[in-house]
Amino acid sequence: MSGNERITQELCGESELKEGEMREFDVQGQTILLVKSNGVFTAVGGKCTHYGAPLSKGVLSGNRVRCPWHGACFNIETGDIEEYPGLDSLPCFEVTIQNGKVLLTASRKALDNAKRVKEMSRHNNGDRTNIVLIGSGPAALVCAETLRQEGYKGRIVMVTSEKHLPYDRTKLSKAMNAKATDIYLRPEDFFSSYDIEVWTEKEVVSVNTDEGKVKFRDNSTLHYSQLLIATGSRPRELTCPGSGLKNVFLLRSPGDANAISEAAIGKNVVIMGTSFIGMEVAAFLSDKASSVSVIGRSEFPFQAVLGPQIGEVAMKLLQEKGVSFYSRTDTREIRGENGQVTEVVLRNGSKLPADVVVAGIGVTPASNFLKGSRIAVDTRGAIFVDQFMRSSVPDVFAAGDVVSFPLSIMEGHRVNIGHWQMAHSHGRIAALNMLHKQVPINSVPFFWTSLLGKSIRYTGYGEGYTSIELKGNLEELKFLAFYIKDEYVVAVSSMNYDPIVAQVAEVMLSGRRITKKEVLAEDFLSLITK
């Protein structure tokens, strides 16, 4: 059967789908999403290109569908990805109505591919411009791909101090034993196909914006016409005595994840910090290590972001797997013998046996190399950018965890957000504005964490919330939490309550504010998603 062969299949009767309804169909083994919007039927691939979530369980808003799991959005007419995470668009299929029946027509090739790479240009030797991207995370990768999708034909060079091609960093703490190549976001031949150069193990030590030049650790230099800084964040270093001992780890790269995973088997592991990274590491190692102990300054994990009640739920999930928690305390010292860690001493003098220590005590923007440059940063080192991802210096853009940017849903209040999804969005906006499209960032923060097969989803920006309204049942692990500030919802989190978080993200994007009064009403679900 050739890839060009056309296949036509009847899906349903024209009257079977209501206005605004989405339904999933199987066509020759491919999951198809059929949508009726404004009286028009359209069909696209039915699974999110990020992690394969069923889009029929998502949220339809205007001409796009939002994934129920992680918030990616796709145009229902073209299949194009319009919000992240993920890189690929959906296949799009021809729909016709004949004798009251809805028919889908597609090529075998289209049906065989659940993902679609948008058409991209290549380098033209006649174009002497050179865009340099520092970093190889999602911000840099989406920027490079967007430039090519928008027809840019100059040179694109992505430089990274790491030895790997761009990879899915969210998996480092969730699948610590994964091979680096198994979590690459694109295969090596993808970059050569579209003339995107990736220079690995090239550490940038300075940027000269007057000369348009980047300098590397090996003293080589690279000129740029336009520059994107997307270096992300780096883990905070431990400062307590003993932090230089063998088997005391920070988690930053696939090599770190693999080394921790290997060293922890059958051993005593101590995790410092109850951040999302620390908790995911604890969950992953809970059935592999001899013991797992978690040290945290707060009473519960995630407390500052998700609140004490949800933090307690997460803690209990892990305690049931044998993970021990030492709350409201800190590490005084890490002790060892023959250069190898043996125990961790807490502030009160208690000692925890430790063969492996993993520090997850927060991150800082990776911008040290900008010292002495004209690029403005805040007191933490986050690069100031405007809504177009432009820095204080012409032709220098920045994106991702390394920036302080104006958040549209907070009326332009400046934030530094370390979300995988937001870094993708920044990369796209930076690319569009490098090409002078004047498109502002208008993305609603969306993140998730996974513990022992249970996912917590979150959207909005809850910093400074004053109260939490809980719905559902915490003990049954089915709940919604609304974070309230000044009588309005500023964020929402959930477990086993899809697609509410995706629905709230759409409401926030529309500019409508959800009130505390609406949340407290008996029919709150219909009120907040109207």
pTM to 2 decimals? 0.96
Pick the CATH number of 6-111 from 2.102.10.10, 2.60.120.1360, 3.40.50.2000, 3.40.50.1700: 2.102.10.10
Cis geometry, peptide bond prior to residue 499 (ω within 30 degrees of 0): yes
Beta strand pairing status for 92-98 and 40-45? antiparallel
Instruction: Indicate whether 3 pLDDT > 90.
Output: no
Instruction: Indicate whether 339 pLDDT > 70.
Output: yes
Every domain of the chain and the residues it spans: 6-111, 130-234+365-434, 248-361, 453-528
The pLDDT value recorded for residue 5 is: 84
For 257, counting Cβ atoms within 10 Å of its Cβ (0-12 exposed, 13-18 middle, 19+ buried), the class is buried
Q: What does the pLDDT look like over 116-148, one tens digit per residue?
A: 999 999 999 999 999 999 999 999 999 999 999
Q: What does the pLDDT look like over 61-103, one tens digit per residue?
A: 999 999 999 999 999 999 999 999 999 999 999 999 999 999 9
Report helix, strand or coil for 296. coil
Split at pLDDT 50, 70, 90, the class of 110 is confident
Q: How far apart are the first and last CA of the chain?
A: 47
Let me know if domain 130-234+365-434 sits in CATH 3.50.50.60: yes
Cα distance between residue 311 and residue 316, in whole Å: 9
The pLDDT value recorded for residue 1 is: 47
Q: What percent of the chain has pLDDT over 90?
A: 94
Pick the CATH number of 453-528 from 3.30.390.30, 1.10.3720.10, 3.90.740.10, 1.20.1300.10: 3.30.390.30
* Partners of residue 167 on adjacent β-strands: 184
The Cβ of residue 308 has, within 10 Å, a number of other Cβ atoms equal to 16
Half-sphere exposure of 250 (CA within 13 A, CB side): 14
Which strands, in side-by-side order, build the sheet including 351-353? 331-337, 340-346, 351-353
What is the dihedral angle through the alpha carbons of 376, 216, 234, 491, rounded to the nearest 10 degrees? 50
Is residue 363 within 8 A of residue 237, CB to CB? The reply is: no
Q: Do domains 130-234+365-434 and 453-528 have the same CATH topology?
A: no
What is the average pLDDT score of the chain?
95
Cis geometry, peptide bond prior to residue 85 (ω within 30 degrees of 0): yes
Hey, what amino acid is at 159?
Answer: V
Q: Provide the CATH number for the domain formed by 248-361 in this structure.
A: 3.50.50.60
Report helix, strand or coil for 54. strand
Q: What does the pLDDT look like over 465-476, one tens digit per residue?
A: 999 999 999 999
| H-helix segments, 46-134 | 108-111
> Of 256, 54, 242, 230, nearest to 158 (Cα)?
230
**Mean pLDDT over residues 31-51, rounded?**
96
Going 220 to 226 to 228 to 229, the CA torsion angle's sign is positive
